[in-house]
């Protein structure tokens, strides 16, 4: 299953660039087809671990709130899509933890990202030489827009750092990973990816604090490739124009430009209005996209999104569970596997995604969702199995298998209702007259309003 996920992440940008439809819609459609395979993979496992009482209570409480939020929403069948998608991604994460070929998968990721970064960087340089300008919107090959590319970079930069300086990989792979990272951070700098920058800096600061010497090594490698990326940015966008005798081209956006910040504030105010009006169960899963606001079908903040759509109690519960889990995982890594570069890199990738989620829709878009699934699954795969963990009883195992069968059936239903929309050419969840908007606002589909 992990190999399919890596193939999805590596090949989809190319397929999205060649596709007549939007890359977002192609990514969502292929994602929906992958998720039942993940559920089948988990079903095929012969044993399950016994959940702790705390895990069972939290899961039961969260499940009850989600069910109530779905049933009380304006369109429960649409709300069910969002719930199914989140549950399916969680199961996909579990399916991808069982792999014995992590080294080959990381090499495939390095090769794929090196190729992609080379193509996009080459387009930048050639455009500057031939046209004396850079059309930034042409650089998001295989992504709906530039920021969706940045969402992916937030996760795969830390993951690829585990190859740099890792003696388990030959020099050629370490060099190729460094090359891919320098080009990637050149693009991060070129495209003024502020959320990605904040997320990577946060991961670089947290790693030494949490993991000591190995964390400092991770932070140094991140700093060096970042310096290389910024130096390349200066060379391409300042030195090259000087050599060519042309003006320095304008940046992607003027520095200090505040329109995107103002849009974020507007969306947060909109989400806050939903929270105040529906504090306990929210407006309904995915229903931020049901009430047209003229700007975006998600609030560009995953925490505000969960609170607005599922209610404040569930949002607080999930934040508590995430913080608790991250702290316990960090302690386990520091105590049991302090020198495991992949464990530290995947932890940093998860932390970076959570920070990026404060400013963006990385938990909404299919490509970044699957990158997050990969990061979490790699992290889980590195953690040592607790000797105190008991196998699940036959009753618990039977119950879990029954729930997975129900989820599998629900995923097939989701494919059946989504496939006609996907094949229509311009997918949209239609429940009435179309909503007139000046631009696409991606959510489930590229045209995210319903």
180 touches 110 (CB < 8 A): yes
CA dist., res. 171 & res. 219, Å (int): 20
Longest dimension (CA), the chain: 75
441 touches 365 (CB < 8 A): no
294: left (phi over 0), alpha (psi -120 to 50) or beta: left
343-372: average pLDDT: 97
Q: What does the pLDDT look like over 25-83, one tens digit per residue? A: 999 999 999 999 999 999 887 677 777 788 888 889 999 999 999 999 999 999 999 99
234-260: average pLDDT: 83
Between the CA atoms of 74, 36, 100 and 174, what dihedral angle is there, to the nearest 10 degrees? -60
Confidence of residue 353 (pLDDT cuts 50, 70, 90): very high
Q: What does the pLDDT look like over 114-160, one tens digit per residue? A: 999 999 999 999 999 998 889 898 888 889 889 999 999 999 999 99
Q: What does the pLDDT look like over 164-181, one tens digit per residue? A: 988 889 999 999 999 999
Weakest mean pLDDT among 70-74, 77-81, 258-262, 412-416: 258-262
Taking each continuous run of H as one helix and of E as one strand, the counts in the chain are 15, 0
φ and ψ at residue 391, rounded to 5 degrees: -65, 150
pLDDT of 258 reads 58
Confidence of residue 394 (pLDDT cuts 50, 70, 90): confident
Q: Which among 62, 3, 13, 2 is positioned nearest to 368, based on CA atoms?
A: 13
CA dist., res. 203 & res. 199, Å (int): 6
Burial class of 379 by CB neighbour count within 10 A (0 to 12, 13 to 18, 19+)? buried
């Amino acid at each position: 299953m992990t190999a399919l996920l890596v193939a999805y992440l590596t090949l989809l940008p190319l397929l999205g660039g060649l596709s007549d439809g939007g890359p977002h819609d192609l990514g969502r459609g292929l994602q929906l087809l992958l998720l039942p395979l993940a559920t089948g993979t988990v079903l095929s496992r012969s044993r399950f671990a016994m959940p702790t009482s705390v895990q069972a209570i939290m899961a039961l409480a969260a499940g009850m709130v989600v069910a109530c939020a779905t049933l009380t929403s304006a369109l429960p069948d649409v709300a069910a899509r969002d719930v199914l998608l989140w549950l399916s991604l969680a199961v996909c994460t579990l399916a991808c933890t069982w792999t014995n070929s992590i080294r080959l998968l990381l090499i495939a990721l390095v090769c794929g990202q090196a190729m992609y970064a080379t193509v996009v960087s080459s387009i930048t340089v050639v455009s500057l030489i031939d046209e004396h300008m850079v059309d930034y919107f042409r650089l998001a090959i295989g992504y709906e827009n530039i920021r969706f590319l940045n969402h992916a970079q937030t996760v795969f930069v830390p993951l690829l750092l585990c190859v740099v300086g890792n003696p388990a990989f030959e020099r050629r792979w370490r060099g190729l990973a460094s090359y891919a990272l320098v080009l990637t951070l050149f693009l991060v700098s070129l495209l003024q990816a502020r959320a990605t920058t904040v997320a990577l800096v946060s991961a670089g600061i947290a790693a030494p604090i949490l993991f000591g010497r190995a964390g400092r090594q991770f932070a140094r490698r991140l700093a060096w490739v970042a310096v290389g990326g910024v130096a390349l940015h200066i060379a391409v966008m300042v030195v090259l124009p000087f050599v060519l005798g042309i003006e320095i081209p304008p940046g992607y956006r003027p520095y200090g430009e505040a329109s995107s910040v103002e849009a974020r504030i507007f969306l947060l105010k909109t989400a806050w209005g939903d929270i105040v009006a529906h504090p306990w169960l929210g407006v309904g899963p995915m229903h931020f996209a049901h009430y047209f606001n003229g700007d975006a079908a998600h609030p560009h903040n995953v925490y505000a999104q969960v609170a607005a759509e599922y209610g404040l109690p569930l949002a607080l519960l999930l934040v508590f569970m995430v913080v608790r889990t991250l702290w316990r995982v960090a302690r386990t890594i520091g105590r049991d596997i302090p020198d495991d570069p992949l464990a530290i890199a995947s932890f940093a990738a998860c932390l970076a995604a959570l920070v990026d989620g404060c400013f963006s829709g990385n938990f909404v878009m299919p490509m970044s969702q699957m990158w997050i699934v990969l990061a979490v699954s790699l992290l889980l795969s590195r953690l040592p199995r607790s000797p105190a963990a008991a196998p699940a009883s036959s009753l618990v195992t039977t119950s879990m298998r029954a729930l997975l069968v129900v989820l599998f059936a629900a995923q097939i239903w989701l494919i059946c209702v989504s496939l006609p929309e996907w094949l229509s050419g311009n997918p949209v969840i239609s429940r009435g007259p179309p909503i007139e908007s000046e631009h696409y606002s991606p959510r489930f589909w590229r045209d995210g309003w319903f």
